[in-house]
């Protein structure tokens, strides 16, 4: 086998049995090994342990005439012990009559590392989403409000398994009408409102008042609503009841007492000097302090010192007869801080403020979720600002408002140079599309446009860029206010894709060609038969198959040697090929000294004429064969079958043609036998 074409390939390639037979220059460049390093080495010695069994299986299959073609992804260890991820495509080739392994090695290390980085980010988000006690839903507003995902806290709150929630729509749990519900989702999408109070229905039919904080997130090109939900039933109920209690205090003392003591949030009352007069038992659970230890103490005794000004301001308003709600921090008995939402109202007796009553809700977990989201935003902002891609913001006319500094490394222009001249005198492109193209300037809301093109750098060279564009709208005038673009240098990828395409075309051609005779191989024959038999059934047109092999070929090899046998096969193939001159026909080496001719659209009579012409053409070559028992020259025996007498099913036609071939042998060889009927 000639290795020049392998050595010229930019893709690493190797030939092997159990040990290396040959490796091209691209392999040595990629791996750092030399030919001495490969001597007496098994091919799997250079891969991770899992690769051994598939290689050995392929070798075994070739020994029993099964020709495997497989593709694997494995770690490969270079001479410097560097780990490279390779996509290994294996097939079988014939070398001097022996089937050996042929492998093409594509380096996908960068892709693997990028996938692992994406998995880490996804795992980080998934961990936050699934482990937080806050109720979270991911909703698709464009798909009738379908719930895309829900965390365990949501499952616990609503009473549905997560998989059931993911089959539901938000209207299934929200008491609003469809029209009102979609108005709210549109408000979130337009940035008009993010916080709502809704009534949500649980699995047992219970209705709960909930606070919903929603924001738009973009996940794989889809605009989804990420919602954090807080059960405000107790808060709303308590606030309503607390206001009512202020006017009915004298005749509802018992009712007030029950509400105060049994409320799930901290309830408190203060005298005019800010000392605790009463606290419920929940205070102990939340703060760690005993109620008895706090009674008579000033509220400042467990408020964070930094919050004193806020407490003074808010309680002064209450003492003036106003109701207030505010955020503050208290100090837990063990020293850590708790975030609290406090509502306080004046106790009024005979139009005189005599004290303060209120409740405090522990929102520490909710605040932590908010902080986690803020921190996540900071991380992603850092990634954006340090990205190796060009990130730019444009006005509606395409002029640049901002472009990241990396542009100078890629195009050679400074950000200021591009910002000054981008619309009137932009860099030259080899594309009918650019950032100020009319298709870009007319993007719809939410539409993302990605295209690739060549752009001229400052030094005059052209590079390939890929840009992804999204428009943002002026909400009041409902028109495009500008664009965000992310552009990356894909020159190496483009060049690699072109090389890969050329290599794949070459390998595809190689995989369907018989290495000895240069005609179609068995694989191509099998594929062709499948397609043409199906076409014959659909069209009703006939299809015929000719099988022939060389008479007494084993005696020929034994007499003249295998090299002469190979020359004989090549001469017969080159003689017959021009005679099968219709583009719709196929001449293939079926195996060994056996050949096949497929004739679509040809009936039995026509096929028999072709078969006889082929038989005569071989006989006319006059290749000496002293050991033949039918002629002093090489002859062939031919079997012919047609769909006129046999169902056009590939396996059946091959069997019947083979039967006819052996009938020709039994009748004395050097003749043609056709299947007249079955």
The answer to whether the CB of 678 falls within 8 A of the CB of 646 is yes
* Residue 472: inside a domain: yes
91 and 127 fall within a common domain: no
More confident residue, 29 or 678: 29
pTM of the model: 0.34
* Residue 340: inside a domain: no
CA atoms of 204 and 160, how far apart (whole Å): 10
Q: Which of 84-88, 379-383, 498-502 has the highest mean pLDDT?
A: 84-88
Question: Radius of gyration of the chain from Cα atoms?
Answer: 41
pLDDT in tens, 399-447: 787 888 888 888 888 888 877 766 556 666 654 345 545 566 677 777 8
350 and 467 fall within a common domain: no
Considering the chain, what is the average pLDDT of its residues?
85
465 and 577 fall within a common domain: no
* Residue 279: inside a domain: yes
517 and 642 fall within a common domain: yes
554 and 659 fall within a common domain: yes
Query: Per-residue pLDDT for 252 more than 60?
Result: no
Least confident piece of the model among 371-375, 544-548, 661-665? 371-375
Number of compact structural domains in the chain: 5
Residues 6+ apart with CB under 8 A from 114: none
* Residue 506: inside a domain: no
pLDDT for the residue 438: 55
pLDDT for the residue 611: 96
E strand residue ranges, 592-635: 594-600
Least confident piece of the model among 181-195, 256-270, 349-363, 547-561? 256-270
Query: Per-residue pLDDT for 602 more than 70?
Result: yes
* Residue 500: inside a domain: no
641 and 596 fall within a common domain: yes
Average pLDDT over residues 276-291: 88
E strand residue ranges, 39-96: 70-77, 83-95
Residues 6+ apart with CB under 8 A from 26: 9, 10, 11, 12, 13
Last residue of a domain, one of 231, 265, 284: 231
The answer to whether the CB of 661 falls within 8 A of the CB of 549 is yes
Residue 576's closest CA among 542, 610, 599? 610
pLDDT for the residue 124: 62
535 and 652 fall within a common domain: yes
CA atoms of 610 and 587, how far apart (whole Å): 12
> Exposed, middle or buried: residue 221 (CB in 10 Å: 0-12, 13-18, 19+)?
exposed
311 and 429 fall within a common domain: no
DSSP sequence for 86-151? EEEEEEEEEETTEEEEEEEEEE-HHHHHHHHHHHHHHHHHHHHHHH-SSEEEEEEGGGTTEEEEE-
516 and 649 fall within a common domain: yes
103 and 124 fall within a common domain: no
Quote the distance between the C-alpha of residue 112 and its chain's center. Answer: 13
Average pLDDT over residues 180-198: 90
CATH number for the domain harbouring residue 470: 3.30.450.20
pLDDT for the residue 432: 39
- Bridge-partner residues for 547, per DSSP? 596, 639
Last residue of a domain, one of 73, 107, 141: 107
Residue 51's closest CA among 114, 115, 105? 105
CATH number for the domain harbouring residue 532: 3.30.70.270
* Residue 594: inside a domain: yes
pLDDT band per the 50, 70, 90 thresholds, residue 387: confident
CA atoms of 302 and 500, how far apart (whole Å): 70
Length reported for the chain: 678
More confident residue, 433 or 166: 166
* Residue 372: inside a domain: no
Query: Per-residue pLDDT for 6 more than 80?
Result: no
* Residue 198: inside a domain: yes
The answer to whether the CB of 220 falls within 8 A of the CB of 213 is no
66 and 103 fall within a common domain: yes
More confident residue, 509 or 408: 408
Structural domain harbouring 454 = 387-492
pLDDT for the residue 433: 43
pLDDT for the residue 625: 95
Query: Per-residue pLDDT for 250 more than 80?
Result: no
469 and 523 fall within a common domain: no
CA atoms of 357 and 349, how far apart (whole Å): 13
pLDDT in tens, 102-136: 888 888 888 887 777 666 666 666 777 777 888 99
- CA separation, residue 311 to residues 231, 266, 337, 620 (Å): 26, 17, 16, 113
């Amino acid at each position: 086998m000639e290795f020049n074409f392998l050595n010229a390939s930019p893709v690493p390639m190797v030939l092997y049995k159990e040990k290396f037979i040959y490796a091209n220059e691209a392999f040595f460049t990629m791996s750092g090994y030399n030919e001495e390093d490969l001597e007496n080495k098994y091919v799997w010695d250079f891969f991770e342990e899992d690769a051994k069994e598939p290689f050995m299986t392929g070798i075994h299959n070739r020994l029993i005439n099964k020709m495997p073609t497989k593709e694997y992804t494995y770690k490969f260890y270079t001479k410097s012990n560097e780990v490279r991820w390779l996509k290994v495509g294996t097939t079988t080739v014939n070398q001097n009559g022996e089937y050996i392994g042929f492998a093409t090695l594509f380096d996908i290390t960068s892709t693997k590392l990028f996938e692992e980085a994406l998995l880490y980010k996804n795992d980080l988000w998934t961990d936050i989403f699934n482990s937080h006690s806050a109720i979270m839903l991911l909703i698709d507003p464009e798909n009738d409000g379908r719930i895309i995902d829900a965390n365990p806290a949501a499952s616990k709150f609503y009473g549905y398994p997560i998989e059931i929630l993911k089959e539901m729509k938000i209207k299934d749990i929200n008491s609003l009408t469809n029209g009102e519900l979609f108005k709210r989702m549109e408000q979130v999408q337009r940035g008009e409102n993010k916080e709502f109070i809704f009534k949500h229905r649980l699995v047992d039919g219970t209705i709960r008042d909930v606070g919903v904080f929603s924001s738009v997130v973009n996940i794989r090109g889809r605009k989804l609503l990420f919602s954090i939900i807080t059960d405000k039933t107790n808060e709303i109920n308590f606030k309503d009841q607390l206001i009512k209690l202020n006017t009915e205090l004298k005749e509802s003392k018992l009712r007030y007492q029950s509400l105060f003591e049994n409320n799930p949030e901290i309830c408190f009352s203060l005298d005019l000097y800010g000392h605790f007069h009463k606290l419920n038992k929940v205070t102990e659970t939340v703060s760690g302090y005993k109620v008895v230890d706090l009674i008579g103490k000033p509220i400042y005794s467990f408020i964070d010192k930094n919050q004193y000004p806020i407490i003074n301001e808010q309680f002064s308003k209450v003492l003036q007869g106003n109701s207030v709600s505010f955020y503050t921090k208290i100090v837990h008995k063990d020293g850590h801080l708790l975030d609290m939402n406090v509502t306080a109202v004046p106790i009024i007796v005979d139009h005189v403020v005599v004290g303060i009553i209120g409740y405090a809700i522990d929102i520490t977990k909710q605040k932590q979720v908010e902080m986690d989201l803020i921190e996540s935003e900071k991380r992603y902002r850092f990634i954006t600002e340090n990205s190796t891609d060009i990130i730019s913001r444009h006005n509606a006319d395409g002029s640049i408002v901002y472009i990241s500094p990396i542009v100078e490394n890629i195009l050679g222009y400074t950000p200021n140079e591009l910002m000054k001249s981008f619309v009137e005198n932009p860099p030259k492109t080899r594309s009918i599309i650019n950032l100020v193209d009319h298709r870009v300037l007319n993007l719809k809301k939410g539409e993302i446009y990605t295209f690739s093109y060549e752009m001229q750098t400052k030094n005059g060279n052209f590079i390939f860029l890929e840009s992804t564009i999204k428009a943002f709208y002026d909400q009041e005038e409902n028109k495009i206010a500008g664009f965000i673009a992310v552009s990356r240098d894909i020159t190496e990828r483009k060049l690699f894709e072109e090389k890969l395409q050329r290599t794949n075309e070459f390998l595809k051609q190689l995989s369907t060609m018989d290495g000895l005779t240069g005609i179609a191989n068995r694989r191509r024959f099998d594929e062709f038969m499948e397609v043409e038999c199906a076409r014959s059934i659909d069209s009703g047109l006939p299809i015929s198959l000719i099988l022939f092999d060389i008479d007494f070929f084993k005696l020929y090899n034994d007499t003249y040697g295998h090299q002469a046998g190979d020359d004989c096969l090549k001469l017969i193939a080159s003689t017959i090929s021009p005679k099968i001159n219709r583009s719709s026909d196929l001449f293939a080496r079926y195996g060994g000294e056996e050949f096949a001719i497929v004739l679509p659209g040809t009936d039995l009579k026509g096929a028999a004429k072709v078969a006889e012409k082929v038989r005569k053409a071989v006989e006319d070559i006059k290749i000496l064969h002293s050991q033949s028992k039918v002629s002093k020259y090489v002859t062939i025996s031919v079997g012919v079958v047609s769909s006129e007498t046999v169902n056009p099913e590939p396996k059946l036609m091959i069997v019947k043609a083979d039967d006819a071939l052996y009938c020709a042998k039994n009748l004395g060889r050097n003749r043609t036998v056709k299947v007249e009927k079955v």
